[in-house]
């Protein structure tokens, strides 16, 4: 049943609507990031813990991080392709 809701929704949304929705979300995300106070992030780890973590970061960790980014981008492009 949900599939039919998605297909009928894609008929009602044009490319311009989709581009507007994505652009609006991007602008909102940037604005929210600028408005929030992120100073508390500095206090999560001490300087020694940060240095220790960066020294132990290997190419395998980089591959895992790249795979996570690739999966997230793939899901985003899949959602976009449903509406185009």
Largest Cα–Cα distance in the chain?
55
| Per-residue confidence (pLDDT) for residue 5, from 0 to 100 | 57
Total structural domains in the chain?
Answer: 2
- What percentage of the chain exceeds 70 in pLDDT? 85
Q: Domain range spanning residue 20?
A: 1-37
pTM: predicted TM-score of the whole model, two decimal places: 0.46
Q: For residue 27, give Cα distances in angstroms to 34, 53, 67.
A: 11, 33, 26
What is the Rg, in whole angstroms, of the alpha carbon atoms belonging to the chain? 20
Distance CA 70, CA 67 (A): 5
Clarify whether residues 31 and 50 are in a common domain: no
Claim to verify: residue 27 and residue 57 sit in the same structural domain: no
37 pLDDT band, cuts 50/70/90, is confident
Q: Are residues 80 and 52 in the same domain?
A: yes
Identify the band that residue 65 occupies on the pLDDT scale cut at 50, 70 and 90. very high
Residue 67, token pair as written in the block: 């795979």
Residues 49 and 81 in one domain: yes
């Amino acid at each position: 049943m949900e599939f039919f809701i998605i297909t009928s929704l894609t008929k009602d949304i044009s490319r311009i609507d989709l581009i507007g929705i994505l652009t609006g979300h991007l602008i909102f995300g940037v604005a929210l990031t600028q408005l929030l106070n992120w100073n508390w992030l500095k206090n999560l780890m001490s300087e020694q813990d940060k240095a220790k973590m960066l020294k132990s970061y290997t190419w395998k960790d980089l591959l895992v991080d790249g795979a996570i980014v690739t999966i997230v981008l793939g899901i985003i492009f899949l959602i976009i392709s449903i509406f185009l």
